[in-house]
Amino acid sequence: MPLRIPILFHANMQHSIQEVTDEWPRMSEIIETITFRAGYNTGMVIGGTALLGLAAGIIGVFALLRKRSLMTDALSHATLPGITLAFLFAGTFGLESKSLPVLLVGASVTGVLGVICVQLILHHTRLREDAAIGIVLSVFFGAGIVGLSYIQANAPGDSGGLNHFIYGQAATMRVGDVVLMGSIALVAIMATLLFMKEFAIVCFNDAFARVDGWPVGLVDLFMMALVVLVTVAGLQAVGLILVVSMLIIPPVAARFWTDRLSVLVLISGIIGATSGYLGATVSALFPRKPAGAVIVLTAGCIFVLSMFLAPKRGVFAHAIRRVSVRVKVAGDHLLEHVYESRQSTLTSDDFANFARMQGWSPLFQLLIRFALRRENMLGSKTRSEIRVTEAGLERGARVSRNHALWEQYLVSHADIAPSHVDWSVDMVEHVLSDELIHELETALRNQGVDFPPSLEGVG
Amino acid sequence: MYFDLALDLFPLLAAALAAVCCGLLGNFLLLRKQSMMGDAISHSVLPGLVIAFLIASTRSPLVMLAGATIAGVVTVVLVEFVKRFGKVEPGAAMGVVFSILFALGVLLIEKAAVRHVDLDAECVLHGQLETLVWYSAPATISGLWSVETLDAIPRQIITLTIILILAIGFVSLLFKELRLASFDPALATTLGFNSTLLHYLLMIFVAAATVASFEAVGSILVIAMLICPGATARLLTDRLRTQIVLSVLIALFTAVGGYFSATIIPGWFGRDTVNAAGSITVFSGLVLSLTIIISPSHGILSRMIRRIRLSSRVALDDLLATMYRAQEQAQAEMSASDISDAILRSKPQPLLNRAVKRALIQRHRGMYSLTEKGQRAARSIVRRHRLWEHYLVDQAGLAPDHVHETAERLEHLPPVPPAGPQTDPQGKVIPDDPQVP
């Protein structure tokens, strides 16, 4: 059997590995490639892969919403034994063993079988989903590897092409293969757009859909079938290990940008198509850059950018919101402190003391003062003290009064001991709305509970 | 000759060590529902290996191990990060992280390779068991007892042995803590164990075991061995200690069995050997499937048998109770068709035959009646039924016309209802306990 010598692990390799610098293609070549003019074949591959990315991005949204992301991983790994079996037995049925449609049919059969096995394991044993997916993934893939090694060692004829299904080989695809891939992708896109309403209802509330009379099982099955189609279509271009990430990454990245399904599908499709397009282009320009890896990394970059920069759900936006709330709360506390100490200025010593008691870091102190000054709550600053403006004092008074109101409410209505209320009040006093304050006042007044007078009279 | 020292000894040893090492650690992944983490780690150690190599320009095992272990831990941290700060569903978070890292690895491996050397990431998947050939092996087993043997042991096997010893030490020293953290991480934290730290420690071991193993056996076998032996053992026992011991034995068994399936079975058909790592994976899948079917405690077959037994006992109980009730209505004998109508069975004959065979009922001129023994059994069932009815009305506050269905189920179960009055809520007499004379 021909041994593949692994360079990383082979103990007797004498010469060291040096980095290979890829030769950069000329500018004209780059422009030709990205504008689909670098030959018919290359253009087809790029277009086909972009279409595939679009399809995967769209159908991936539903897989994500259905929490099936890792299930697709099991599915794609389970296609390998089907490919080898189709290769081995196609001849018996009088088919050409290396024809792509035959191999892809084999891939779909074992892929679906893998998904069924996951369901069977979940249904008949006490193993959890993660274990079931891992079992199917590894065992099926192991069977595929046995098949591959058997073919390499024993089967007549050239079997080299089979390896391409693992890592993908977009650049060497033939026009016929690309057309097949593209048309599968198109079918998947059309079907998804046609059945969007059904998919949405099953994804968001399958119990309701069932009660409402939708054939949930059927719709679910159809969604899974589309996932199988996209996976199988992507095998040759992207490879079975990475095709799953075309289904997972674009929707996850798109999810950061929107809460609406239609927009989600659109963005996810665009991300998928962009990564597919870029991946195939780079792989056409640089012979040693596998398309699958480039596609995934492109999608990965978009994911990382989305995760950090998305305006509402992004990590940065989130952090900024959290910090600004904390700054506001701290500012409220400071003004409340000034109001309650019945002064109109804040001495530096006092501020330092208060900051130490609250545990504010120096940076945080700066932030608070900056925020308050911007809102005109703090005025001019001399060497030893800071002036608090009218507005600042009023805010302090308001916070102080809210604090007292809520405290009274908790003691008289929620049966909390007076010594225990302060802590939770500190958190709530900043978020009381005007209506709520009004309601509190009425409730407390009816109870005959004392509370601080309204602020109308206060400076 | 099925076993050749030169060809088989080291591959077999490597496969067995890797299987045992992964199988041992996999138990805890399984319990923490983190099995796919093994999959994620084994994908993402690839860039760790390549980056470690590119930085240190050496293939020394320590550097490789360090790089891969760091990559493993980084994976765990990244998945956690994406999950928490991106609010992404756990499965998807894992998928995103490991596929990006794996893609990075694939790209880097191309970058690291000289054009004319045949390097592809496939070896990482398939494993290199077959390359561990011992060219100067002694001719006989007895020839193994020499110093040369020690020198000939491949590096992979030494690394694996060290990791295995460390893993065994880790599991046995921290067994109590691992068990607690696996079943109830919240409790572990309140008791003062840092279950997060323990989790990361486990992940470090998984990463180390992964990289030590897949040098020799390929990542796909690592994933299989992290999950399958533990899952198989989990279907055989409810005790963690037993599960761990079983999983190690199963791992060993599948490694040996799978290895010889790869080397021997193709030979029967005059073919070359197939990939051993793949074959071990498939073998472990077969062992698992077999266990799913025939496991005495949790297998499909035994559960089916239990269900059939239960339903046949229930049918018999119902038959006796029906005849007893008929007897109360002064109908001591029933025809087969009467019974068929009463117990809603279109074909009561097999059931009747079984009851006759057990001497619970007797047949006389086509009419059936309860025997002495059947009388006693029937009384016990009807007594339980009516006592339950009484209990449900008296204690659980159900309406008298709502309790029959529930009592109909409860009467077949072992617990005996508390003793009650002479009559049930419908005014029917509760028979005496037939056991008491």
From A16, A134, A251, residue closest to B35, measured CB to CB: A134
pLDDT < 70 regions, chain B: 1-2, 59, 111-128, 130, 136-148, 150, 435-437
% helix, strand, coil for chain A, step of 5: 75, 0, 25
**Integer CA distances (angstroms), B346 to A256, A383, A457, B350, in order:** 61, 101, 89, 11
Check residue A2 and report its DSSP letter. Answer: P
Indicate the helix (H) or strand (E) that contains A381.
strand A378-381
- Burial annotation A184-194 (CB, 10 A radius, 16+ → b, else e): bbeebbebbee
Check residue A160 and report its DSSP letter. Answer: G
Q: Which residue of B has its CA nearest to A127?
A: B231
pLDDT confidence of residue A234: 86
Q: Which residue of B has its CA nearest to A121?
A: B292
Q: Say yes or no: B63 contacts chain A, CB-CB below 8 A.
A: no
Please answer yes or no on whether B227 and A138 come within 8 Å at the CB atom.
yes
Please answer yes or no on whether B277 and A121 come within 8 Å at the CB atom.
no
Beta pairing partners, B367? B335, B364
- A6: pLDDT strictly greater than 50: no
Nearest to A161 by CA among A109, A217, A239: A239
How far apart, in whole angstroms, are the C-alpha atoms of residue A375 and residue A403? 22
Query: Tokens representing B49?
Result: 């290996």
Q: Which amino acid, one-letter code, is at B111?
A: K
Q: How far apart are the first and last CA of chain B?
A: 73
From A128, A134, A149, residue closest to B275, measured CB to CB: A149
Average pLDDT for chain A: 81
- Which residues 394-433 in chain B show a CB within 8 A of chain A? none
Please answer yes or no on whether A256 and B85 come within 8 Å at the CB atom.
no
Q: Say yes or no: A137 contacts chain B, CB-CB below 8 A.
A: yes
Task: Kindly provide the ipTM of the predicted complex, given to two decimals.
Answer: 0.84
Please answer yes or no on whether A303 and B49 come within 8 Å at the CB atom.
no
How far apart, in whole angstroms, are the C-alpha atoms of residue A132 and residue B370? 51
DSSP β-ladder status, B334-335 and A378-381: unpaired
- A20: pLDDT strictly greater than 60: no
* C-alpha triplet B304, B309, B313: angle, nearest 5°: 150
Q: Say yes or no: A266 contacts chain B, CB-CB below 8 A.
A: no
Interface test with B, best of A149, A151, A152, A304 (most B CBs within 10 A): A149
pLDDT confidence of residue A456: 53
What distance lies between CA A320 and its chain's CA centroid?
20
In tens, the pLDDT along A166-225 reads 777 776 777 888 888 888 888 888 998 899 888 999 888 888 999 988 898 889 889 988
pLDDT confidence of residue B112: 66
Q: Please compute Rg for chain A using Cα positions.
A: 32
Q: Which residue of A has its CA nearest to B298?
A: A125
DSSP β-ladder status, B361-364 and A385-388: unpaired
Check residue A288 and report its DSSP letter. Answer: T
- Which residues 137-196 in chain B show a CB within 8 A of chain A? 154-156
- Which residues 362-401 in chain B show a CB within 8 A of chain A? none
Give the count of Cβ contacts less than 8 A between chain A and B. Answer: 261
Backbone angles phi, psi at B396, to 5 degrees: -95, -5
Q: Say yes or no: A21 contacts chain B, CB-CB below 8 A.
A: no
Please answer yes or no on whether B278 and A163 come within 8 Å at the CB atom.
no
How far apart, in whole angstroms, are the C-alpha atoms of residue A98 and residue A248? 30
Q: Which residues contact residue A58 at a Cβ distance below 8 angstroms, ignoring those fewer than 6 apart?
A: A188, A189, A192, A193, A265, A268, A269, A272
Please answer yes or no on whether B96 and A144 come within 8 Å at the CB atom.
no
What distance lies between CA B200 and its chain's CA centroid?
24
Q: Which residue of B has its CA nearest to A128?
A: B33
- Which residues 331-350 in chain A show a CB within 8 A of chain B? none
DSSP secondary structure string for all residues of A230-258: HHHHHHHHH-TTTHHHHHHHHHHHHHTT-
Beta pairing partners, A346? A386
Beta pairing partners, B335? B367
What distance lies between CA A147 and its chain's CA centroid?
35
Query: Tokens representing B300?
Result: 């499909």
Give the strands of the sheet with B361-364, arranged side by side. Answer: B334-335, B367-370, B361-364
Q: Which residues contact residue B407 at a Cβ distance below 8 angstroms, ignoring those fewer than 6 apart?
A: B385, B386, B388, B389, B392
- pTM for this structure? 0.82
Q: Which residue has the higher pLDDT, A273 or B268?
A: A273
DSSP secondary structure string for all residues of A301-338: HHHHHHHHH-TTTSHHHHHHHHHHHHHHHHHHHHHHHH
Query: Tokens representing A282?
Result: 């780079």
Pair B99, A245: CB distance under 8 Å: yes
Give the strands of the sheet with A378-381, arranged side by side. Answer: A345-347, A385-388, A378-381
In tens, the pLDDT along A407-452 reads 777 777 776 666 666 666 666 777 777 777 787 778 777 777 666 6
From B123, B155, B262, residue closest to A4, measured CB to CB: B123
Q: Say yes or no: A123 contacts chain B, CB-CB below 8 A.
A: no
pLDDT confidence of residue B123: 59
How far apart, in whole angstroms, are the C-alpha atoms of residue B65 and residue B266? 35
Q: Which amino acid, one-letter code, is at A280?
A: A
Nearest to B220 by CA among A328, A407, A330, A140: A140
Check residue A161 and report its DSSP letter. Answer: G
Please answer yes or no on whether B121 and A167 come within 8 Å at the CB atom.
yes
How far apart, in whole angstroms, are the C-alpha atoms of residue A292 and residue B109? 14
From B33, B49, B272, residue closest to A8, measured CB to CB: B49
Q: Say yes or no: B212 contacts chain A, CB-CB below 8 A.
A: no
Min Cα separation A418/chain B (Å): 29
pLDDT confidence of residue A1: 33
Place of tokens 């607690």: B180
In tens, the pLDDT along B200-239 reads 888 888 888 888 887 777 888 888 999 999 999 999 999 9
Q: Which residues contact residue A370 at a Cβ distance below 8 angstroms, ignoring those fewer than 6 apart?
A: none
In tens, the pLDDT along B60-72 reads 777 878 888 888 8
Min Cα separation A40/chain B (Å): 26
- Which residues 366-405 in chain A show a CB within 8 A of chain B? none
**CA-CA-CA-CA torsion sign (A286, A288, A289, A291):** positive
How far apart, in whole angstroms, are the C-alpha atoms of residue B131 and residue A216? 51
pLDDT confidence of residue B133: 73
pLDDT confidence of residue A17: 40
Cβ contacts of A5 on chain B, cutoff 8 Å:
117-118, 131
Q: Which residue of B has its CA nearest to A297?
A: B100
How far apart, in whole angstroms, are the C-alpha atoms of residue B235 and residue B294? 10
DSSP β-ladder status, A378-381 and B367-370: unpaired
pLDDT confidence of residue A36: 65
Beta pairing partners, B363? B368
Cβ contacts of A13 on chain B, cutoff 8 Å:
59
3-state secondary structure chain B: CCCCHHHHHHHHHHHHHHHHHHHHHHHHHHHCCCHHHHHHHHHHHHHHHHHHHHHHCCCCHHHHHHHHHHHHHHHHHHHHHHHHHCCCCHHHHHHHHHHHHHHHHHHHHHHHCCCCCCCCCHHHHHCCHHHCCCCCCCCCHHHHCCHHHHHHCCHHHHHHHHHHHHHHHHHHHCHHHHHHHHHCHHHHHHCCCCHHHHHHHHHHHHHHHHHHHHHHHCHHHHHHHHHHHHHHHHCCCCCHHHHHHHHHHHHHHHHHHHHHHHHHHHHHCCCCCCCHHHHHHHHHHHHHHHHHHHCCCCCHHHHHHHHHHHHHHHHHHHHHHHHHHHHHCCCCCEEHHHHHHHHCCCCCHHHHHHHHHCCCEEEECCEEEECHHHHHHHHHHHHHHHHHHHHHHHCCCCCHHHCHHHHHHHCCCCCCCCCCCCECCCCCECCCCCCCC
Interface test with A, best of B59, B65, B106 (most A CBs within 10 A): B106
Cβ contacts of A278 on chain B, cutoff 8 Å:
none
Q: Is A379 helix (H, G, I), strand (E, B) or coil?
A: strand
Q: Say yes or no: A134 contacts chain B, CB-CB below 8 A.
A: yes
Q: Which residues contact residue A236 at a Cβ distance below 8 angstroms, ignoring those fewer than 6 apart?
A: A100, A164, A165, A168, A169, A170, A173, A177, A181
How far apart, in whole angstroms, are the C-alpha atoms of residue B254 and residue A142? 13
Q: Please compute Rg for chain B using Cα positions.
A: 32
H-only helix segments in A35-99: 40-65, 69-77, 79-89
State the pLDDT confidence band at A44, using cuts at 50, 70 and 90. confident
Cβ contacts of B86 on chain A, cutoff 8 Å:
252, 256, 307, 313, 315
In tens, the pLDDT along A51-106 reads 999 999 999 999 999 888 888 889 999 999 999 899 888 877 777 767 888 888 99
Min Cα separation A125/chain B (Å): 7
Q: Which residues contact residue A448 at a Cβ distance below 8 angstroms, ignoring those fewer than 6 apart?
A: none
Pair B232, B292: CB distance under 8 Å: no
How far apart, in whole angstroms, are the C-alpha atoms of residue B18 and residue B215? 10
Most confident of A12-16, A320-324, B117-121: A320-324
* C-alpha triplet B233, B237, B238: angle, nearest 5°: 120
Min Cα separation A230/chain B (Å): 17
Cβ contacts of A241 on chain B, cutoff 8 Å:
43, 99, 102
Please answer yes or no on whether B226 and A134 come within 8 Å at the CB atom.
yes
Q: Say yes or no: A286 contacts chain B, CB-CB below 8 A.
A: no
Min Cα separation B334/chain A (Å): 42
